[in-house]
Amino acid sequence: MSLAASSLSSLRRQLTSGKISARDIVEDVIAQISSRDGDIGAFLSHNGEAALAAAEKADLSLPLGGLPIGIKDNINVEGHPCTCASKFLKDSYTSPYDATAITKLKAAGAIPFGKTNLDEFAMGSSTENSGLQTTQNPAAPGHIPGGSSGGSAAAVAARLIPAALGSDTGGSIRQPASHCGVVGLKPSYGRISRYGLVAFGSSLDQIGPLTHTVEDSALLLNALAGGDPRDSTSLNDPVPDYTEGLDSGVSGMKLGLPKEYFADGLCPKIRERIESTAKKLESQGAEIVEISLPHTEYAVATYYIIAPAEASSNLSRFDGVRYGNRTENPEDMLALYTDSREAGFGSEVKRRIILGTYVLSSGYYDAYYLRAQKVRTLIRRDFQEAFEKVDAILTPVAPETAPKMGSASGDPLKHYLADIYTISANLAGNCGISVPLEPIDGLPVGLQILGPHLGEKKILRCARAVEAG
Ligand code: GLN
């Protein structure tokens, strides 16, 4: 197995035993990308020289010493472009600072390597909304990699790099992880600082890892978690060692299957895979119980009011004045704003801005935004009640395996509806992980394990049991 294809934990063992050097790993990552990423399209940019220089100086005594990590291109890395896969920022913006997640990765010895493709400004679930390039699903060419962190998932799945960071506002780490066959963790809201992540839906966004193994996910969470004075929504709760107890199994755990998640619309083969996995966990000592999350049917409508509302406000900073695209010779100030935005944003981003502006406008605010916030509370309460009865919840990640590219183009509603299983965890602020199951007809599929707020240890332990089989 090439070095770029290895897990972080195995690279770490090889590095500390002196078998390989950090330079060997980075050289292999560069070689893999240059020989194979032309067909996949996972990376938007990378700076091999800078990464090699960082590898020379790597401190191998640190927990992630010398390990290269791909970074979704909506997370700022000093000196690198940060395009958000948008024409608005392409060739016109270089990050002047590191996101806190990057500062923390560097402090743990890791080498942020390259920027990966995404749906423009993380709006989408196929990476087809990227304004810059398409990304193939490495496990199933011709199929979408999922999204919006499709570049990160594809980079790991194609074994171009051992691990990558993504962001998850409504499923954008878990869903591409499921479609590409890797592990994707969305931590609880506040567990990782959002400082330096280009904001989409500020009350929903979280950064998280995409990895080959559950252990690697825990290793990265160890480095990334913690409070940050620069993000007032980050939490100062102590950061446990997430790798500790990972192998203690599910014996004695209570796991819930929410009946609303197994209703019409779910591919029967996915349902079967999840049910047989639940049986296996039962045979390992877990107790499986049916639960109810009664407000699930309102989740898509609620999310597609709140997320665009926040996006319309967050994206108002892209106006041609300060960041990125600026129209030449505008007639007046208003034309500077409107022409720069018209030319810079793609159609899905415009759709979200229009939706968001509408639901926030006076006269409609109470009917849409305020009501959505109330329903959000009901969804959160559903989970609070469920987690009084169970330790974790098992669900599908998406209603079907990775669709063919272009199959939902022109039908945004189809994409929105397919987010049904992932968005509730963001609305509630809980954590969730997608862990690969046996592929279906050759296509990867993940199991989603949802946990209570700050319940990352529980879901990692359960995911590890699934992974171990
Ligand atoms: N698919 C969802 C959306 O389009 C989620 C995106 C995300 O998590 N960034 O909004």
61 alpha carbon to ligand 1 midpoint, in Å?
37
Reported confidence tier of residue 136, pLDDT bands at 50, 70, 90: very high
Reported confidence tier of residue 255, pLDDT bands at 50, 70, 90: very high
Residue 74 DSSP code: T
**Cβ within 8 Å of residue 213, ≥6 positions away:** 7, 8, 9, 183, 467
For the chain, the 3-state helix, strand and coil shares in percent, each to the nearest 5, are 40, 15, 45
Q: Is 127 in the pocket of ligand 1 (CB under 6 A)?
A: no
Phi-psi group of 21: left, alpha or beta (phi > 0 → left; psi -120 to 50 → alpha; rest → beta): beta
C-alpha distances out from residue 267 to 68, 167, 308, 403, 466, Å: 37, 26, 28, 12, 20
What number does the ligand 1 atom closest to the CA of 122 have?
9
Q: What is the share, in percent, of the chain residues with pLDDT greater than 90?
A: 97
C-alpha distances out from residue 261 to 36, 132, 293, 394, 415, Å: 38, 35, 9, 9, 17
Q: Is 168 in the pocket of ligand 1 (CB under 6 A)?
A: yes
pLDDT value for 272: 97
Q: What is the pLDDT of residues 183-195, one digit of tens each?
A: 999 999 999 999 9
pLDDT greater than 90 at residue 244: yes
Measured CA angle at 67 (ends 64, 69), to 5 deg: 105
Least confident of 13-27, 275-289, 399-413: 399-413
Ligand 1 pocket test: pick from 73, 117, 172 the residue with the most ligand atoms within 8 Å of its Cβ. 172
Q: What is the pLDDT of residues 66-84, one digit of tens each?
A: 999 999 999 999 999 999 9
Reported confidence tier of residue 1, pLDDT bands at 50, 70, 90: confident
401 alpha carbon to ligand 1 midpoint, in Å?
17
What integer is the mean pLDDT of 444-463? 98
CATH architecture of the domain covering 1-469: Alpha-Beta Complex (3.90)
**Which residue's alpha carbon is at the smallest distance from atom 5 of ligand 1?**
170
Question: Do 242 and 218 form a contact (C-beta atoms < 8 A)?
Answer: yes
Question: Do 355 and 346 form a contact (C-beta atoms < 8 A)?
Answer: no
392 alpha carbon to ligand 1 midpoint, in Å?
23
Q: Is 419 in the pocket of ligand 1 (CB under 6 A)?
A: yes
pLDDT value for 387: 98
What integer is the mean pLDDT of 359-385? 96
**Which residue's alpha carbon is at the smallest distance from atom 10 of ligand 1?**
123
Q: What residues act catalytically?
A: 72, 148, 172
What number does the ligand 1 atom closest to the CA of 415 have?
1
pLDDT value for 409: 77
122 alpha carbon to ligand 1 midpoint, in Å?
6
pLDDT value for 414: 87
pLDDT value for 348: 97
Q: Is 149 in the pocket of ligand 1 (CB under 6 A)?
A: no
Q: Is 182 in the pocket of ligand 1 (CB under 6 A)?
A: no
Least confident of 20-24, 110-114, 159-163, 364-368: 364-368
pLDDT value for 173: 98
- Is this model's pTM higher than 0.95 or not? yes
Question: Do 383 and 293 form a contact (C-beta atoms < 8 A)?
Answer: yes
Name the residue ranges covered by the structural domains of the chain: 1-469
Q: What is the pLDDT of residues 398-431, one digit of tens each?
A: 999 999 999 987 788 989 999 999 999 999 999 9
Ligand 1 pocket test: pick from 125, 174, 351 the residue with the most ligand atoms within 8 Å of its Cβ. 125
